[in-house]
A and B are shown apart, each in its own frame.
Chain A
Amino acid sequence: MEIRPGSVLLAALLLSGCGWFHRGDKGPTPVTADEPQPDPSIIEPQVPRREVKTPKIKAKDFELGAYFGALDIEDFGTNPIYGVRGAYHVTEDIFLEGFVATSKGGQSSLEETFPDITVVSNSGRRFTYYDVDVGYNILPGEIFLGRGRAFNTALYVTAGMGDVKFADRDQFAVNFGAGERVLITDWLALHLDVRDHVYESDLFGVTKNVHNIEATLGLTVFY
């Protein structure tokens, strides 16, 4: 291997530069005689500091649960529906809520009268929706059961929008409703809801707004 004088010079420069990085380091400072020596008679207290941890207050503003009931699908009969709901309580008045639920439509009157006609395929009869809603507790209060028992309740209204999938089509749907929340305990709530899902449909040839009203009973837990 040929070593060029230039590269030797460069290596030498680099190596000499290494010392530069240690310029801040100093040798051990000699202990001077007049520096006060620790008195061996004073005992340093060796008490471990006690960790004081303030317990946190848990916020139980979320509500999660399921519901079951009857859904009247316009032109397709009343059918059982079941779903899940989640809510976040922003203030004592306002809450945000979300739903996902499913049901299955029956035969329309047209299909019952003329059995040869199929308006919706069998798989398309599945009625599924999701919704995002804003709710407002308009009438909070208490209900009494006999002399010694009271339950906190609230009558609320909700409005929102989402997707209704029916007849193999996703449709934009608005919903509005009212419900009653009865707190059986402070963390378990019973819900009675009536809600209308409205969307535009042209299944029968004319475009019209169809109303799909549900009445449900639900149970939720506060977290």
Chain B
Amino acid sequence: MRRLLAIVLMLQAFLAGVGSAATQNLELVVTQPYVEMHTGPGRGYPVFYVVGRGETLTVLYSRTDWYRVRAPRGQEGWVRRDDLARTEQTSGAPAPIPPYPVFFAHRWEVGAGYGVYNRENLVTAYVDYGITDSLDIELALQQAFGTIDNREVATLGIRNTFIPEWKWFSPTAGIGTGYQHVTDIAPPAPQEANNQLAYASLGARGFITRRFMWRFDWRTYVVFNQLNKSEGLEEWKFDLAVFF
């Protein structure tokens, strides 16, 4: 734990160093009659300053849908993304506000969720990379908490989204392989075992807002244990994820 704390502190120092190294900020010219600056990055924060047409804004950084800007006379505040998108660069080109990732064509997903694995409570986290719009590679790390054993499961698989253009609900199917580590907690003797496993899955995914999405997965597992007979397990899980 102490080590983890030390790592976080070191990472803080490192990231702070990287942040200060950046010097050049983007400058944008207001082309609308005016742009409102809010005191905070949220819809309810009051407008405290207005930058008029023809004046230049220095963009410092963004947080969610808000941009921290500096007015020509030094005032700093937050401008809504949609307002900033209507400004121009000094060269006359449109403001380079990065577009939202298109949901059906996104590449990365990172998420976590709840599930039931072999009738045990399951905590799950996953990373997913899209090779194409419909074909993904996914890595899942899961921990299942049972009354007689605890299991840690790691799986790697491929997943196909049948109709990726369907935004709110799109069915998926996948196959993969992995390992589980079983620790018996019931007396008498705590035993541990490692088994290889394979799975097939059916599921669905959908868009929520901005970079936010949900995913549901039902999996059937075959566990290759040492007892010369394979064990069949079922799992379902629901994840919330961020996509990039």
List the interface of chain A (C-beta within 8 A of B).
Answer: 52, 54-61, 64-66, 82-84, 88-92, 94, 96, 98, 100-102, 128, 132, 134, 137, 140-142, 150, 152, 154, 161-163, 169-172, 186, 221-223
Q: Quick check: B45 and A84 within 8 Å, CB to CB?
A: no
Residue of B nearest to A199 (CB): B145
Complex alpha-carbon distance, A222 and B61, angstroms? 11
Q: Which chain B residues lie closer than 8 Å to A98 at the CB level?
A: 112
Complex alpha-carbon distance, A96 and B110, angstroms? 11
Q: Quick check: B44 and A141 within 8 Å, CB to CB?
A: yes
Q: Quick check: B11 and A64 within 8 Å, CB to CB?
A: yes
Q: Which chain A residues lie closer than 8 Å to B125 at the CB level?
A: 132
Q: Quick check: B8 and A57 within 8 Å, CB to CB?
A: no
Complex alpha-carbon distance, A26 and B143, angstroms? 68
Complex alpha-carbon distance, A88 and B112, angstroms? 13
Q: Quick check: A140 and B44 within 8 Å, CB to CB?
A: yes
Q: Quick check: A169 and B40 within 8 Å, CB to CB?
A: no
Q: Quick check: B12 and A64 within 8 Å, CB to CB?
A: yes
Q: Tell me if B65 is interfacial: C-beta within 8 Å of chain A.
A: yes
Q: Quick check: A221 and B16 within 8 Å, CB to CB?
A: yes
Q: Quick check: B1 and A88 within 8 Å, CB to CB?
A: no
Chosen A-B contacts, 25 in total, with CB atoms closer than 8 Å, are A54-B26, A54-B89, A54-B96, A55-B26, A56-B96, A57-B67, A57-B96, A57-B98, A59-B61, A61-B62, A61-B63, A64-B8, A64-B11, A64-B15, A66-B5, A89-B64, A91-B212, A92-B41, A96-B242, A100-B1, A100-B4, A128-B1, A132-B112, A132-B123, A172-B123
Chain A nearest CB, measured from B192 CB (Å): 13
Q: Tell me if B73 is interfacial: C-beta within 8 Å of chain A.
A: no
Residue of A nearest to B122 (CB): A172
List the interface of chain B (C-beta within 8 A of A).
Answer: 1, 4-5, 8-9, 11-12, 15-16, 19, 22, 24-26, 39-45, 59-68, 89, 91, 96-98, 112, 114, 120-121, 123, 125, 143, 145, 150, 185, 209-212, 240, 242
Residue of A nearest to B11 (CB): A64
Q: Which chain B residues lie closer than 8 Å to A64 at the CB level?
A: 8, 11-12, 15
Q: Quick check: B15 and A59 within 8 Å, CB to CB?
A: no
The answer, among B112, B120, B242, for a CB contact under 8 Å with A90, is: B242
The answer, among A91, A161, A222, for a CB contact under 8 Å with B123, is: A161
Q: Quick check: A65 and B114 within 8 Å, CB to CB?
A: no
Chain A interface mostly helix, strand, loop or mixed? strand
Complex alpha-carbon distance, A134 and B241, angstroms? 10
Chain B nearest CB, measured from A55 CB (Å): 4
Chain B nearest CB, measured from A21 CB (Å): 35
Complex alpha-carbon distance, A57 and B67, angstroms? 9
Complex alpha-carbon distance, A94 and B68, angstroms? 19
Q: Quick check: A142 and B212 within 8 Å, CB to CB?
A: no
The answer, among A60, A128, A170, for a CB contact under 8 Å with B62, is: A60
**13 other contacts beyond A92-B42, A101-B1, with CB at 8 A cut-off?**
A57-B59, A57-B96, A57-B97, A58-B22, A58-B62, A64-B11, A64-B12, A84-B4, A84-B5, A90-B211, A152-B39, A154-B42, A170-B143
The answer, among A66, A169, A186, for a CB contact under 8 Å with B8, is: A66
Q: Which chain B residues lie closer than 8 Å to A82 at the CB level?
A: 1, 5
Q: Quick check: A57 and B123 within 8 Å, CB to CB?
A: no
Q: Quick check: A142 and B123 within 8 Å, CB to CB?
A: no
Chain B nearest CB, measured from A100 CB (Å): 6
Q: Which chain A residues lie closer than 8 Å to B59 at the CB level?
A: 57
Q: Which chain B residues lie closer than 8 Å to A137 at the CB level?
A: 42
